[in-house]
Structure 1
Amino acid sequence: MLRITSEWSKLRTVLVHEPGIEMFYGILDPDAFLYMRRFNVERAINQHKQMVNKLKEMGIEVLKIKELINEKAKSDKEFRKLLEKIALNYIKYEGDGKAEENLSRVKKDLEKLDSDTLFNIILLNPTVLSHEALGTNEAVTRILNEEPLANLYFTRDQAIITDKGVVIGRMSKRIRMRETEIIKLVFQALSEKPLKEISEPAFLEGGDYMPFKDFAIFGTGDRTSISGIMQAIDFTNFNEIVIAYNPEIEETEDYMLTMHLDMYLNSPKEGVVISNSTILSKTLAHIYERKENGISLKERTNLLEFFKKKGYRILEISLAEQLSYATNFLTIENGRILSPKVVNNMINIMEYLERKGYNNLLNKVKEEYNRHITNKDFFPNRKDIKDEGIDYDEIDVSELTGGFGGIHCMTMPIKRG
């Protein structure tokens, strides 16, 4: 059974989704697909390949969602039938006369289709619209792909792996809800039975969960609800659970800037967190302890005071660094991380702030950016990181962050320790 107790336990196996045609749809309408901006898809896909190669160089087994599902479908007849059944739920035929006939034919032809095609049906959710052109016997056909899964490459979010096992999440945005259908196929392909699937109306996304060996933190906000957290808590063994209320940045009312816990917090090694103290002090934290009859509220505080009381060392990052995905690194083992090249993200962040009209925040970020340029101390290339004994590798994911996430968002560790 898959179990993970801390962010810094040695990473053995990680799950990713290599983006493909579905990313194209996100570029067409970034806001509707929860993207930050338009970006170069070809470069983004190449950056993702480079990230995968770097992880492999670091000795980590990398499993790709599509490959995993396709290979299982080839070797397991029952799994193949399940894939066909799910795919059939996500293809529709509409139009003049022959819609029912076309649907009947595709049902008969399913077994002829390769597993890659079946996967793409789930990924794209196509509706085939056909009608006969006036005065002819020719069919005019349009294909409408309804809510393609343009965010699937943010593989962190569809599930969490606690110290007891796998909990399937429930996505808060309609555009992403179908992603959990795919992640359930993944765990079935791995012969891993989830302990729980979050049920409506609750929401839970993996970017809002971090285990710290002796306790775990859940973030709550636009993407994860309190009721979702409470469902998940029953499938953990931690004696202490923290619910952190994801904070607002500089009165912008822009939940995307702190949509998940990993947008403002991470741990590169035991006893250390990376964050911005001002943001931590604004993050309301409810501390729960586990008792024989369940969990009970022990204390109301903020994350800054909580970590200080725990004796954690807080390595400070500027607001500009935080917004540029400084906390969105992946911890490889205790004291070693794979980090985004934070400096490469800052120009894009400033353009976003300008476009949104967040002038006060933009001015602050520009000031911090110029100071970092002068001091040559962009995270993680800093003395305090080296003094703490943290080793790091950096990769450029500045196109991929156009989807509103970094390396932590794009990876789901499934084996650590």
Structure 2
Amino acid sequence: MSTETANGNGVPRSASFLDVRSTVEADVPPSKRAKTAAVVNLLEGRKAVQESENEIAEVVIVCEPEQASLMMGGLHPRGSLYERPVNIDVAKQQHAEFRNVLRAHGVKVLTVREILAHNVDTNMSARVICQMGTSQLIDTVMINPTVTLQPSYRDTGFTASYTFEPLSNLVYTRDQQVTTCKGIVMGRLRSAQRQREVQVMRFCFNKLGMAVAGEIKEPGYLEGGDFFPMSRDLAMAGIGLRSNLEACKQLMDDDLLGTRRFAVVRDDFDQHQDRMHLDCVFSVLSDTCCIMLADIMGDKSPTRRLVDEYTRDPETGKYKMTREGVEFSAFIAGEGYAIIPISNEHQLQYACNVLNLGDSRIVSVHAPSARQIVRDPRFKGDVQVIDFSSITSMYGSVHCASQVVKRIPRK
């Protein structure tokens, strides 16, 4: 049996490379593939879409832990937005297993590195960059160096010093954008350490030929962990510590949602790093079942979330508020969801941050809450638990570490 190799050098193609190639060459006749090497031309007009978290996931973008950028980020975990120190070798192994699990469910998994490496344009004018190999070039993107030169008056004539602003949080590909019924909307990240990530991800979408429907502009902030597509009728976004109302207004005013209703989930009273995004306290398990942090439930909760619902006028196309200040668990129950409550202890171990691959196929990192879910008679799906402990060291779990850019819409 023959194995496809990279550039004939005997190194096997990775599974991610093959997924990238199959994605960019989908539905393109061989004659057209031969005429162009540009991914954007191969996939011009390709549609990203996500109507519901419970639809079948088809294409997911992840970023495997990068040695150099994570090493730099790990030198001061809190300064890099990490929860605790990271073992990079273990993180790489755990992330590889995560990708294997997704592929075992039939998902095409594309890594940022393989997307960047696909059909790299070597026609570069910069003298140093044009001599770099593909891997070296991508490493340079990931560590984001600045070289300062001073005259040395001897040897080569210069002395160089270096500063770096590594993309040490790009492993969490959820946050740089959201995928709605209308397609990909580029976000705007609150933390200064992460703002360049949006540019890298937009470049990836351009290479894949996945059109970007819009982007959030200043003073808006939108991070993907705050966004949930619930159905063709309803989308939700959390606002508080990271995302804000201005971004939600832009989603509505620029018609970037594609849903009749939009629920803005306000975190007015909590705004804690441990619950920074909506996906830290809530997740969709099926069309009729979800999980939610028990501590935020109820009108009397000091950390309750409140929902403002906006409805689109079919004549004007404009959204206007139709309900205000509805307690979150009451709102969700009113949408027909049974709520499985998650304890504060389990939430701190990322029990709420699960990934739904569609039809209630759930990936979790927390065994006790997974057992709680499968024992609940209101849940009819499956939960697979993986070890993600080195990735969660960086303040995120499987939902954070994945961007589903294409789910198969229901008929």
Aligned 8 A contact 1:16 1:65 in 2: yes
1:45-67 Cα distance to aligned partner (Å, 9 max, x none)? 11111111111122211101111
Counterpart in the other structure of 2:323: 299
Aligned 8 A contact 2:282 2:291 in 1: yes
Structure 1 residue 280, shift from structure 2 partner: 3.6
Distance 2:344 2:156 in 1: 63
- Paired residues, number: 349
Q: Does 1:34 align with 2:51?
A: no
Q: Does 1:71 align with 2:61?
A: no
Q: Does 1:221 align with 2:224?
A: no
Counterpart in the other structure of 2:169: 151
Q: Does 1:2 align with 2:48?
A: yes
Q: Does 1:396 align with 2:387?
A: yes
Counterpart in the other structure of 1:47: 94
Counterpart in the other structure of 1:276: 293
Distance 1:32 1:198 in 2: 26
SS class of match (1:379): helix
Aligned 8 A contact 1:6 1:211 in 2: yes
Counterpart in the other structure of 1:329: 354
Q: Does 1:179 align with 2:179?
A: no
Structure 1 residue 243, shift from structure 2 partner: 0.5
RMSD between superposed Cα atoms in Å: 2.0
Distance 2:376 2:93 in 1: 30
Distance 2:156 2:142 in 1: 32
Aligned 8 A contact 2:374 2:382 in 1: no
Structure 1 residue 169, shift from structure 2 partner: 0.8
Q: Does 1:124 align with 2:114?
A: no
1:279-338 Cα distance to aligned partner (Å, 9 max, x none)? 143001111111133111111211111012222100111111112111111101222101
Structure 1 residue 134, shift from structure 2 partner: 8.1
Counterpart among 261, 266, 290 of residue 245 in structure 1? 266
Structure 1 residue 167, shift from structure 2 partner: 0.6
Distance 1:150 1:410 in 2: 13
1:69-148 aligned at under 5 Å gives the runs: 69-73=116-120, 77=121, 107-132=126-151, 139-145=158-164, 147-148=165-166
Structure 1 residue 263, shift from structure 2 partner: 0.5
Q: 1:182 to 1:383 in 2, by over 3 A?
A: closer
Structure 1 residue 109, shift from structure 2 partner: 3.9
Counterpart in the other structure of 2:407: 416
SS class of match (1:230): helix
Which sits farther off after the overlay, 159-168 or 381-390? 381-390
For structure 1, the residue ranges without an aligned partner over 5 or more in a row are 85-105, 344-377
Counterpart in the other structure of 1:18: 64
Distance 1:8 1:242 in 2: 18
Structure 1 residue 133, shift from structure 2 partner: 5.3
Distance 1:117 1:135 in 2: 29
Distance 1:403 1:114 in 2: 29
Counterpart among 84, 106, 109 of residue 59 in structure 1? 106
Aligned 8 A contact 2:221 2:242 in 1: yes
1:258-294 Cα distance to aligned partner (Å, 9 max, x none)? 1111000100111111012431430011111111331
Aligned 8 A contact 1:246 1:259 in 2: no
Q: 1:140 to 1:270 in 2, by over 3 A?
A: same
Aligned 8 A contact 1:246 1:260 in 2: no
Structure 1 residue 136, shift from structure 2 partner: 7.0
Structure 1 residue 248, shift from structure 2 partner: 5.0
Q: 1:109 to 1:138 in 2, by over 3 A?
A: closer
Structure 1 residue 140, shift from structure 2 partner: 3.8
Distance 1:149 1:208 in 2: 21
Distance 1:170 1:163 in 2: 19
TM-score by length of 1: 0.79
Structure 1 residue 123, shift from structure 2 partner: 1.8
Counterpart in the other structure of 2:37: none
Distance 1:308 1:278 in 2: 16
Distance 1:382 1:278 in 2: 17
Amino acid at match of 2:262: I
Aligned residues with identical type, % of pairs: 28
Structure 1 residue 31, shift from structure 2 partner: 1.5
SS class of match (2:405): strand
Structure 1 residue 129, shift from structure 2 partner: 2.7
SS class of match (2:237): strand
Which sits farther off after the overlay, 273-282 or 44-53? 273-282
Q: 1:34 to 1:408 in 2, by over 3 A?
A: same
Distance 1:307 1:391 in 2: 22
SS class of match (1:171): coil
Distance 2:312 2:62 in 1: 33
Structure 1 residue 159, shift from structure 2 partner: 0.8
Q: Does 1:381 align with 2:371?
A: yes
Q: 1:287 to 1:322 in 2, by over 3 A?
A: same
Q: 1:383 to 1:338 in 2, by over 3 A?
A: closer
Q: 1:248 to 1:47 in 2, by over 3 A?
A: farther
Counterpart in the other structure of 1:99: none
Q: Does 1:285 align with 2:276?
A: no
Counterpart in the other structure of 1:89: none
Distance 1:35 1:247 in 2: 24
Amino acid at match of 1:295: Y
Amino acid at match of 1:391: D
Counterpart among 244, 256, 265 of residue 282 in structure 2? 265
